Every structure is written in structure tokens, then in C-alpha cells.
């Protein structure tokens, strides 16, 4: 049997950073030195090639243009490689994994995002395990076909569905969590794949890469005491086409008339408003409480149990694809890549 071909795509992040001797701050450095720092990689049972952003970035500088670059690298190399590992800063990794899951329609090969909390040169680094196991996950094959056929995120012994993750910790090695969907795999003495949770996709459909993301979107987090002036200003922003409204609990918000009226008018003017809970676990259920039934009746879209990261990426994607007004709510509330239950 032929060894799988894996493409490592290096975008930047702590994994490949070094400490500036003068200032003590971490900054990106060139990718070749990463490979020389982990000679074990050469022992893996696969062929590895690498490609790097010309200027590696801290993922706080990530944007839809870079997402399109990653998607295009995958598109160009799709036939030649059996799996892809994207090295990415952890700060915005959940946004990028979500965005790529939408951009890569009919994906039938693994695209595994990973990174680390400590640079690869650090004695206590978590980079080695994350990188090596991500490559192994991307190399898994059964009957000549890849086992994982979706965008995953691997960090600290767990493989998650990428668009279900959230960065939850800036200190612990266990930096990510998937509150509303089980792990796709765990790495212990053995690699344990939870097959029943993997996305089932037909490998015969052709990969379609969709990179038109519309950034006329926003996220508004509610809090007790939020002012009418603030909400009014945001909703009246001319450029705004879609808004993620982060509500309380199961999708609840104040029932004050001014609030409901402002949302109602914005929706009738054509703004898409999506209800996503501030709670990391559980689902929006409009109509369960009186404090959400008005939102339902004025046409607010339910984000169900989607993460904010996946919701904003899905919103950019659907607006970019110019989904009609009539269909927008139904399409948003439908799972496209396993991002909601
Ligand atoms: N600031 C870094 C980044 O997101 C953090 C990391 O890589 O973990 O690029």
C-alpha cells in the first residue's frame, strides 16, 4: 500500500514563534526551522510536504482573505494529497476552522487545524504532540479512503469537529472545547476514532471551493442595562446585512417594547438577525420562555446550538453566496457541515 501524502500548511501562530531577545515578545519565524526542531516527523509513515504563508501571522491578524488563501492551497493540491494539516494560531483557530468548513463544499479528505500554546522550541512545548498526532489523524485510511472527511481541530489529545469548537483557555494546554458535539477522536495509548460522530460525505461529489465571504456582519452581545442608543446605532448601520445577537440562556432577551420594535423594524428592512446563546453549552429554543417568543414571532433566525464562531462564519458565507431573502432563514437553520444539531 502507498504511504499517504500529507500537506502541512503553515499560517503562523505560537507553534512557530520565537522570543525576540530584545523585547521578550513572541513573533513568527520561518517554517523550515519548525521541521528541523521536530526530527521525529520524518519517522511518520507518510510523505510530508509543506507550504507556508509568505509572511506567517499571529492569528489575531486572520481575515477572510487569508481563509481564501488556505482554501485555494487545498483546492490546488486536492488531488495530489490525501490529507491536510493547517498550522494556525490558537486565538482565532475556531473561526478559521468554521470558515473553512463552509468554504470547502463536498470535502472528502481530512483538513486538520492545529497549533500550540507554547512555541515548538520551548522545552515544555505542546507543539510536538499536537503536530505529530494531527498528521497521524490526517493519514488514517480505510480501504484506500480517508477516515476523516471534514474540517477537524486537534489539540491536547482530542480531535473535535472544527466548527463546533471554542477557545476556552489562554493558559492550559487544553485550550479548546466542543460543548455541543462529542469528540471525533481521542489520542491515548491508541488513537480512538469515534466513527459514529464523523461527518458522512460522498467521496464521489466534486470539491467546490467557495471563497466569497461578505463581511457586512456583526455580533451584538446583550447585557442587562444595554442602552437603546447603542442598539439603535448598530441596527441603523447602513452597511450591516447580518447580525448575530448573543442572547441569554435558551435564546432569551428583554421583552421591553423599544427593544422588540427596533429588531422588528430592522428585520422588515431586510437585516438578518440570528439568535445565538451566550451559554457555551445547550441550544436556543425560541418560544420556550415568554422572553424569547416575541423574537420568534418577528422573524429572528434560530442559531440553535451553533457556536458564535461558526455562526459568524456561516453568516458571511451565506451572504457571500447571495442566498435569497426568502430562503435565508431556512438555510441558516439547516445543518450544512454538521455545525448545528
Ligand atoms: N497569539 C497566538 C496566535 O493566535 C496564540 C497561539 O498561537 O496560540 O497566533
In a domain, 75, yes or no: yes
Residue 260 clears pLDDT 70, i.e. is over it = yes
Asked about 114 being catalytic, the answer comes back as no
Q: What is the CATH number of the domain that holds 295?
A: 3.40.50.40
The pLDDT tens digits of the residues spanning 58-97 come to 999 999 999 999 999 999 999 999 999 999 999 999 999 9
CA 59 to ligand 1 centroid distance, Å: 6
Q: Which three cell numbers stand for residue 147?
A: 477516515
Distance between CA atoms of residues 260 and 266, nearest Å: 10
Instruction: Give yes or no: residues 191 and 298 share one domain.
Output: no
Q: Which atom of ligand 1 is nearest to the CA of 14?
A: 7
**Phi, psi dihedrals of residue 280, rounded to the nearest 5°:** -70, -30
Segment 17-44 shows an average pLDDT of: 79
The pLDDT tens digits of the residues spanning 120-151 come to 878 899 999 999 999 999 999 999 999 999 99
pTM for the predicted model, two decimal places:
0.96
Residue 191: strand, helix, or coil: strand
Instruction: Give yes or no: residues 99 and 248 share one domain.
Output: no
Instruction: Give yes or no: residues 116 and 228 share one domain.
Output: no
pLDDT value for 34: 67
Q: Which atom of ligand 1 is nearest to the CA of 12?
A: 9
pLDDT value for 36: 75
CA 117 to ligand 1 centroid distance, Å: 7
Instruction: Give yes or no: residues 201 and 247 share one domain.
Output: no
Instruction: Give yes or no: residues 116 and 244 share one domain.
Output: no
Q: Which three cell numbers stand for residue 152?
A: 477537524
CA 175 to ligand 1 centroid distance, Å: 11
Q: Which of 14, 166, 307, 308 is catalytic?
A: 14
pLDDT value for 25: 86
Residue 49: strand, helix, or coil: strand
Protein residue closest via CA to atom 3 of ligand 1:
89
Distance between CA atoms of residues 118 and 233, nearest Å: 41
Instruction: Give yes or no: residues 153 and 275 share one domain.
Output: no
The pLDDT tens digits of the residues spanning 219-253 come to 999 999 999 999 999 999 999 999 999 999 999 99
In a domain, 341, yes or no: no
In a domain, 340, yes or no: no
In a domain, 337, yes or no: no
Q: Which atom of ligand 1 is nearest to the CA of 57?
A: 9
Instruction: Give yes or no: residues 222 and 204 share one domain.
Output: no
- Range with lowest mean pLDDT among 25-29, 166-170, 276-280: 25-29
**CA 36 to the chain's CA centroid:** 29
Instruction: Give yes or no: residues 189 and 251 share one domain.
Output: no
Q: Please choose, from the candidates 28, 27, 18, the residue with its C-alpha nearest in 3D space to the C-alpha of residue 53.
A: 28
The total of structural domains in the chain comes to 2
In a domain, 338, yes or no: no
- Range with lowest mean pLDDT among 9-18, 124-133, 298-307: 9-18
Backbone conformation region of residue 12, classed left if phi is above 0, alpha if psi is from -120 to 50, else beta: left
Q: Which three cell numbers stand for residue 157?
A: 489529545
CA 96 to ligand 1 centroid distance, Å: 13
Domain holding 238, by residue range, is 217-332
Full strand arrangement of the beta sheet holding 83-87: 47-57, 5-12, 83-87, 111-114, 151-155, 158-161, 185-187, 191-193
Segment 13-40 shows an average pLDDT of: 79
Instruction: Give yes or no: residues 203 and 221 share one domain.
Output: no
Instruction: Give yes or no: residues 250 and 152 share one domain.
Output: no
Q: Please choose, from the candidates 174, 87, 187, the residue with its C-alpha nearest in 3D space to the C-alpha of residue 126.
A: 174
Residue 276: strand, helix, or coil: strand
Q: How many CA atoms lie within 13 A of 266 on its CB side?
A: 26
Q: Work out the mean pLDDT of the chain and round it to a whole number.
A: 95
Instruction: Give yes or no: residues 230 and 313 share one domain.
Output: yes
Q: Of 161, 186, 209, which residue sits at a domain end?
A: 209
Q: Which residues line ligand 1 (CB under 6 A)?
A: 12-14, 58-60, 89-91, 115, 117
The pLDDT tens digits of the residues spanning 191-217 come to 999 999 999 987 789 999 999 999 999
Instruction: Give yes or no: residues 125 and 253 share one domain.
Output: no
pLDDT value for 26: 82
Residue 182 clears pLDDT 80, i.e. is over it = yes
Q: Of 148, 179, 209, which residue sits at a domain end?
A: 209
Distance between CA atoms of residues 100 and 19, nearest Å: 30
Segment 42-53 shows an average pLDDT of: 92
**Phi, psi dihedrals of residue 109, rounded to the nearest 5°:** -135, 160
Is there a contact between 110 and 32 (Cβ–Cβ < 8 Å)?
no
Protein residue closest via CA to atom 8 of ligand 1:
90
Reported as a pLDDT band with limits 50, 70 and 90, residue 104 is: very high
The pLDDT tens digits of the residues spanning 107-121 come to 999 999 999 999 887
pLDDT value for 27: 76
Q: What is the CATH number of the domain that holds 161?
A: 3.40.50.1170
Question: From residue 234, how far is each of 220, 229, 250, 318, 331 by CA, in Å?
Answer: 8, 9, 23, 21, 25
pLDDT value for 39: 83
Share of the chain above pLDDT 90, in %: 87
pLDDT value for 33: 66
Share of the chain above pLDDT 70, in %: 99
Q: Of 163, 187, 209, which residue sits at a domain end?
A: 209
In a domain, 229, yes or no: yes
Question: Which stretches within the chain are classed as H helix?
Answer: 32-37, 64-77, 93-103, 127-139, 228-235, 257-268, 290-297, 308-320, 325-332
Amino acid at each position: 500500500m502507498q504511504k499517504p501524502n500529507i500537506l502541512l500548511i503553515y499560517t503562523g501562530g505560537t507553534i512557530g514563534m520565537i522570543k525576540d531577545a530584545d523585547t521578550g515578545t513572541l513573533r513568527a519565524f520561518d517554517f523550515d526551522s519548525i521541521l528541523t526542531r521536530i526530527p521525529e516527523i520524518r519517522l511518520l509513515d507518510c510523505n510530508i510536504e509543506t507550504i507556508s504563508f509568505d509572511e506567517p501571522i499571529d492569528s489575531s491578524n486572520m481575515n477572510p482573505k487569508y481563509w481564501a488563501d488556505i482554501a485555494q492551497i487545498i483546492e490546488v493540491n486536492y488531488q495530489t494529497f490525501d490529507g491536510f494539516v493547517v498550522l494556525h494560531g490558537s486565538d482565532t483557530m475556531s473561526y478559521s476552522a468554521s470558515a473553512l468548513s463552509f468554504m470547502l463544499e463536498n470535502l472528502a479528505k481530512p483538513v486538520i487545524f492545529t497549533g500550540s500554546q507554547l512555541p515548538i522550541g520551548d522545552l515544555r512545548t505542546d507543539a510536538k504532540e499536537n503536530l505529530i498526532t494531527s498528521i497521524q489523524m490526517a493519514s488514517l485510511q480505510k480501504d484506500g479512503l480517508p477516515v476523516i472527511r471534514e474540517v477537524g481541530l486537534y489539540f491536547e489529545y482530542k480531535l473535535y469537529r472544527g466548527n463546533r469548537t471554542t477557545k476556552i483557555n489562554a493558559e492550559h494546554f487544553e485550550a479548546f472545547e466542543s460543548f455541543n458535539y462529542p469528540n471525533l477522536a481521542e489520542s491515548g495509548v491508541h488513537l480512538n476514532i469515534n466513527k459514529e460522530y464523523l461527518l458522512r460525505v460522498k467521496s464521489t461529489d466534486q470539491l467546490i471551493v467557495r471563497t466569497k465571504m461578505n463581511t457586512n456582519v456583526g455580533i451584538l452581545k446583550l447585557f442587562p442595562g444595554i442602552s437603546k442608543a447603542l442598539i439603535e446605532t448598530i441596527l441603523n448601520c447602513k452597511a450591516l446585512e447580518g447580525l448575530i445577537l448573543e442572547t441569554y440562556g435558551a435564546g432569551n432577551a428583554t421583552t421591553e417594547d423599544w427593544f422588540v420594535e427596533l429588531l422588528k423594524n430592522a428585520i422588515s428592512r431586510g437585516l438578518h438577525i440570528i439568535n445565538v446563546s451566550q451559554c457555551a453549552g445547550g441550544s436556543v429554543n425560541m418560544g420556550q420562555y415568554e422572553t424569547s417568543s416575541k423574537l420568534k414571532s418577528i422573524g429572528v433566525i434560530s442559531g440553535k446550538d451553533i457556536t458564535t464562531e461558526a455562526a459568524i462564519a456561516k453568516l458571511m458565507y451565506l451572504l457571500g453566496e447571495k442566498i435569497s431573502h426568502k430562503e435565508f432563514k431556512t438555510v441558516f437553520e439547516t445543518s450544512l457541515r454538521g455545525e448545528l444539531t
